[in-house]
């Protein structure tokens, strides 16, 4: 195969007519390329734009136009070169501080002719003529305020039995600092987490929970979209204890008897704390006074001295009847 290739190359080198033909073709193509791409062409490109203030990042801007149309006049070689690193449709960012405008006013009209240098650098063309539309862009800025608002959990956490929350669900951030116009901030007193559910929790964990921002203006700057939540989970068990009902009298001359004389209390406690609970510390009581006895046929049962490690599930009965004796 190599011998055939060498023979073919040798024939091309020796064949002067064929070489002349190749040279003429190359010269014709070069002349056509030079004539075609040396002409001036026009191309309109639309770019999204934004204005920022790097010295005062919290400042908010309202811009009359979110895009500009750039009419580029350049020779064909310039267009051909820029196709290799096209920046079409990429947002052009303008720094307010570099525009030399009077920012003490609440708004300003900027001729787009002031922006041509930045636009040419951003789009990647060199030594070209451009025309920008619209002719003028109006920028208005709003003084921003900051406000500290509480975060409130509305997310539901459901545990896999026999697990329960060992302590209240804890938001890692209790407050959040938001920024915006005074009008927008006055409408916000609290930010909630989304009303969603997490199921089958069976261990201690830390998770991200999304914030509910549906009713908050997009002009308000919120530094986070979700918050960390800490959950402590433990295995729980239940126990039942019977307690006699004590009668607390505000008038000593009253003789009273309650029916029944005792209540059944069902409570829930973490298994690891089960032995720490002394049921003798619990007490059940009713409160008797002339006012209570005159208004009620039955008296509410209260449970006292409940340990902090215990959650009362039920009290049976929760109200008792009474008999008065003279």
**233-to-76, 97, 137, 209, 313 alpha-carbon distances in Å:** 70, 53, 58, 17, 18
Query: Residue 210's pLDDT is what?
Result: 95
Q: Can you list the positions of beta strands (E) in 119-253?
A: 129-133, 136-142, 145-152, 156-159, 163-165, 170-171, 175-180, 191-192, 197-201, 205-210, 226-231, 233-249
Longest dimension (CA), the chain: 142
Question: In the structure encoding, which two tokens stand for residue 70, read together?
Answer: 């750039």
CA-nearest of 162, 227, 233 to 204 is 233
Domain count, the chain: 3
Considering the domain architecture, whether residues 98 and 161 belong to the same structural domain is answered as: no
Considering the domain architecture, whether residues 116 and 168 belong to the same structural domain is answered as: no
Domain-ending residue, one of 121, 142, 163: 142
How far, rounded to the nearest angstrom, does the alpha carbon of residue 224 sit from its chain's CA centroid?
A: 5
Query: Residue 84's pLDDT is what?
Result: 43
Question: Can you give the residue range of the structural domain that contains 190?
Answer: 145-231
Would 17 be classed as within a structural domain?
no
Contact 210, 225 (CB under 8 A): yes
d(CA 275, CA 270): 10
Indicate the SS3 state at residue 38: coil
State the average pLDDT over residues 39-58.
Answer: 71
Considering the domain architecture, whether residues 244 and 312 belong to the same structural domain is answered as: yes
Whether the model clears a pTM of 0.85, i.e. scores above it, the answer is no
pLDDT digits (tens, 9 = 90+) for 148-184: 999 999 999 999 999 999 989 999 999 999 987 788 8
pLDDT digits (tens, 9 = 90+) for 84-127: 445 556 788 877 777 766 554 567 788 888 887 787 777 766 66
CA-nearest of 119, 140, 131 to 64 is 140
Considering the domain architecture, whether residues 183 and 261 belong to the same structural domain is answered as: no
pLDDT digits (tens, 9 = 90+) for 256-297: 888 899 999 999 999 999 999 988 888 999 888 777 676 777
Contact 75, 129 (CB under 8 A): no
Contact 242, 261 (CB under 8 A): no
Considering the domain architecture, whether residues 72 and 115 belong to the same structural domain is answered as: yes
Query: Residue 85's pLDDT is what?
Result: 46
Would 259 be classed as within a structural domain?
yes
Q: Which residues have C-beta within 8 Å of that of residue 8, sequence separation ≥ 6?
A: none
Considering the domain architecture, whether residues 133 and 159 belong to the same structural domain is answered as: no
pLDDT digits (tens, 9 = 90+) for 311-325: 999 999 998 888 877
Which of 83 and 150 is assigned the larger pLDDT?
A: 150
Tokens 């007490």 correspond to 283
Mean pLDDT rounded to a whole number for the chain: 79
Burial class (CB in 10 A: 0-12, 13-18, 19+), 146: exposed
Which of 326 and 203 is assigned the larger pLDDT?
A: 203
**75-to-42, 122, 171 alpha-carbon distances in Å:** 9, 19, 61
Considering the domain architecture, whether residues 51 and 136 belong to the same structural domain is answered as: yes
Considering the domain architecture, whether residues 155 and 137 belong to the same structural domain is answered as: no
Would 6 be classed as within a structural domain?
no
Considering the domain architecture, whether residues 138 and 172 belong to the same structural domain is answered as: no
Domain-ending residue, one of 208, 231, 254: 231
- Write the CATH number for 308: 2.170.120.30
Alpha helices in 86-160, H assignment, sequence order:
116-123
Which of 143 and 309 is assigned the larger pLDDT?
A: 309
Cα pseudo-dihedral 98, 99, 102, 108, rounded to 10: -140
User: Considering the chain, what percentage of its residues have pLDDT values greater than 90?
Assistant: 33
Position 248 confidence tier, pLDDT thresholds 50, 70, 90: confident
d(CA 124, CA 122): 6
Helix axes 2-14, 16-37, angle to 10 degrees: 80
Query: Residue 315's pLDDT is what?
Result: 93
Per-residue burial over 73-96, b if 16 or more Cβ lie within 10 Å, else e, is ebbbebbeebeeeeeeeeebebeb
Indicate the SS3 state at residue 214: coil
CA-nearest of 59, 50, 126, 64 to 93 is 50
Query: Residue 3's pLDDT is what?
Result: 63
Contact 231, 249 (CB under 8 A): no
Would 16 be classed as within a structural domain?
no
Would 186 be classed as within a structural domain?
yes
Which of 298 and 227 is assigned the larger pLDDT?
A: 227
- Write the CATH number for 182: 2.170.120.40
Which of 303 and 16 is assigned the larger pLDDT?
A: 303
Which of 39 and 239 is assigned the larger pLDDT?
A: 239
């Amino acid at each position: 195969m190599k011998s055939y290739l060498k023979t073919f190359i040798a024939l091309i080198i020796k064949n002067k007519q064929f070489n002349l033909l190749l040279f003429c073709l190359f010269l014709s193509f070069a002349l056509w390329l030079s004539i075609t791409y040396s002409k001036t062409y026009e191309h309109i490109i639309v770019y999204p734009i934004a204005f920022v203030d790097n010295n005062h990042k919290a400042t908010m801007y309202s811009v009359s136009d979110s895009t500009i149309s750039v009419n580029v006049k350049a020779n064909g070689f310039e267009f051909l070169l820029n196709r290799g690193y096209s920046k079409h449709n990429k947002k052009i960012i303008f720094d307010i501080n570099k525009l030399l405008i009077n920012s003490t006013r609440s708004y300003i009209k900027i001729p787009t002719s002031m922006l041509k240098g930045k636009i040419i650098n951003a789009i990647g063309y060199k030594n070209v003529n451009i025309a920008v539309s619209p002719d003028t862009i109006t920028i208005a800025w709003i003084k921003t305020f900051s406000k500290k608002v509480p975060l409130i959990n509305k997310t539901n956490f459901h545990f896999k039995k026999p697990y329960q929350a060992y302590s209240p669900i804890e938001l890692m951030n209790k407050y959040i600092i938001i920024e915006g116009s005074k009008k927008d901030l006055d409408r916000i007193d609290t930010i909630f987490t989304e009303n969603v559910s997490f199921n089958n929790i069976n261990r201690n964990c830390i998770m991200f929970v999304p914030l509910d921002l549906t009713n908050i203006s997009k002009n308000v700057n919120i530094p986070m979209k979700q918050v960390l939540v800490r959950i402590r989970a433990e295995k729980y068990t239940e126990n039942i204890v019977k307690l006699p009902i004590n009668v607390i009298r505000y008038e000593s001359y009253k003789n009273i008897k309650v029916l029944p004389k005792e209540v059944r209390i069902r409570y829930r406690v973490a298994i690891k704390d089960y032995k720490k609970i002394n049921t003798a510390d619990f007490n059940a009581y009713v409160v008797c006074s002339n006012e209570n006895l005159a208004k009620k046929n039955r008296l509410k049962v209260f449970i006292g001295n409940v340990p902090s490690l215990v959650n009362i599930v039920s009290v049976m009965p929760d109200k008792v009847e009474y008999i008065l004796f003279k």
